[in-house]
Amino acid sequence: MSDDNFIEKDTSATDAADEQNRQQRHKLRQQKLQQQVQQGIDKATAEKGLLLVITGNGKGKSTSGFGTVARAVGHGLTAAVVQFIKGSWECGERNLLAQHQVEFAVMATGFTWDTQDKAADIAAAEKVWQRAEQMLADPAIDLVLLDELTYMVSYHYIELERIVCALQNRPAAQHVVITGRSCHRTLVEMADTVSEVQVVKHAFDAGIKAQRGLDW
């Protein structure tokens, strides 16, 4: 047998040993991670109705909120949705979820730059917020999505104190999801979970129009 054959066998044995060591190190890391995760799970024993805020300038806030509604409905929970600002558009989520007994209260005035009528917008916001207050007081509703609510605060259409009061006095087990840009710091501080969606790029900026089934 030549020296080359001995070298090849020795290299193969070294490679196998190195691979075994890598696998062992990986296993130890994953075991440590598993232990840390389990410790977190063991500590998380409390149950309560959660307030989630999904804010930021990026696309996907309402999509995330509706995804949470769909998840709740999939688990047999009762959900309701209040839509501000974009309610004049056809809504694919509403088309689907309404078939699963999800109640929608829709402001239905569309974007404020289209209505150009502040008084009418405030009246519409007040009407739909009254229904939202009823939902937030109803223990039979497990989850309420307040889609684009943040604008109602920013534009001073609905008093922040009324929103805070309704959230604080809702049934203890009821979950609420708030979406929209520039969420007021009071709501952020109240929330149990806050996610900020940031824009990296958007097709609209490249001249591509909003498309049915993807954007609305």
Domain-wise residue ranges, the chain: 1-45, 51-206
Residue 7 confidence class, pLDDT cut points 50, 70, 90: low
pLDDT in tens, 111-156: 555 556 788 889 999 999 999 999 999 999 999 999 999 999 999 9
pLDDT in tens, 78-102: 999 999 986 566 788 999 999 999 9
Give the Cα separation of 76 and 47 in Å (integer).
Answer: 18
Minimal CA–CA distance to 149: which of 215, 72, 51?
Answer: 51
pLDDT number for residue 211: 80
pLDDT number for residue 209: 84
| Phi, psi values for residue 214, rounded to 5° | -120, -45
Mean pLDDT confidence for 44-61 = 91
Residue 3 confidence class, pLDDT cut points 50, 70, 90: low
Under CATH, which architecture does the 51-206 domain have?
3-Layer(aba) Sandwich (3.40)
pLDDT in tens, 160-203: 999 999 999 999 999 999 999 999 999 999 999 999 999 888 88
Query: Full-prediction pTM beyond 0.85?
Result: no
For 5, 50, 64, 79, 80, the CA distances from 73, given in Å and listed in that order, are 66, 16, 14, 7, 10
Residue 212 confidence class, pLDDT cut points 50, 70, 90: confident
pLDDT number for residue 207: 84
pLDDT exceeds cutoff 60 at 158: yes
Mean pLDDT confidence for 201-216 = 80
Q: Which of 27-36, 56-65, 100-109 has the lowest mean pLDDT?
A: 27-36
Helices (H), 44-159: 61-74, 92-97, 112-115, 118-136, 149-154
For 21, 42, 84, 213, 216, the CA distances from 132, given in Å and listed in that order, are 59, 36, 11, 27, 23
pLDDT number for residue 89: 66
Mean pLDDT confidence for 11-29 = 79
pLDDT number for residue 37: 78
